[in-house]
């Protein structure tokens, strides 16, 4: 799980400052465990809570999100501000875990839309049941990509493009 000490932000700045040692590999102790299946099963609001705690170190008031579950229509939607993200709807294709990809994209988009004025982004690590998230700068992301031989292990920003939703794939 992600460190929650009050000195987390200072430690992160020191680790990535020009005078500090740049991380070449990911510090998995700072990864939030998310699980895309859980997100797609009306779990985004709960998963957002620890992310929101860290996000509050960047933005004064992190955005609220609302989950809308309609069991009669077999639908699950997440709303943040004016944006709505349809995660599951009976009429949408859901083979090959597409709702998992839509849920992953929605959570990361909600967080990253709030970080546009900062150097950090919330990057996805892995996918599916092993999905995690980590706050990194672009330089940290690139350093991790250079140090990790398998593209499947690289941090990425989720997209809505099926089947990999932004995750790098292959050698």
Is residue 39 included in any domain, yes or no? yes
Is residue 95 included in any domain, yes or no? yes
Cα–Cα–Cα angle for 104, 48, 99, nearest 5°?
Answer: 25
Give the residue, 164 or 10, on which the prediction is more confident. 164
Is residue 167 included in any domain, yes or no? no
Residues 78-95 pLDDT 10s: 999 999 999 999 888 777
Is residue 163 included in any domain, yes or no? no
Report whether pLDDT(138) > 50: yes
Q: Which domain holds residue 51?
A: 8-153
74-78, Cβ contacts within 8 angstroms, sequence gap of 24 or more: 76/40, 76/41, 76/42, 78/44, 78/45, 78/106, 78/110
Whether this prediction's pTM lies above 0.75 is answered by yes
The percent of residues above 90 in pLDDT, for the chain, comes to 71
Is residue 34 included in any domain, yes or no? yes
- Structural domains of the chain, count: 1
Is residue 54 included in any domain, yes or no? yes
Is residue 159 included in any domain, yes or no? no
Q: Which residue has the tokens 């599916």?
A: 128
Residues 115-125 pLDDT 10s: 999 999 999 99
Residues 154-165 pLDDT 10s: 999 999 988 889
């Amino acid at each position: 799980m992600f460190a929650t000490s009050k000195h987390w932000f200072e430690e992160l700045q020191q680790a990535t400052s020009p005078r500090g040692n740049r991380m070449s590999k990911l510090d998995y102790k700072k990864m939030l465990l998310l699980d895309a299946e859980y997100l797609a099963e009306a779990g985004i609001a709960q998963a957002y809570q620890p992310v929101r705690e860290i996000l509050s170190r960047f933005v004064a008031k992190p955005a609220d999100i609302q989950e809308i579950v309609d069991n009669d229509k077999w639908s699950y939607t997440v709303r943040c501000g004016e944006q709505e993200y349809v995660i599951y709807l009976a009429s949408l294709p859901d083979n090959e875990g597409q709702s998992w990809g839509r849920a992953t994209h929605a959570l990361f988009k909600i967080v990253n839309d709030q970080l546009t004025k900062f150097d950090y982004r919330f990057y996805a690590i892995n996918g599916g049941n092993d999905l995690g998230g980590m706050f990194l700068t672009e330089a940290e992301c690139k350093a991790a990509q250079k140090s990790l031989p398998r593209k499947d292990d690289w941090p990425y920003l989720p997209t809505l493009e099926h089947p990999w939703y932004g995750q790098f794939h292959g050698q």
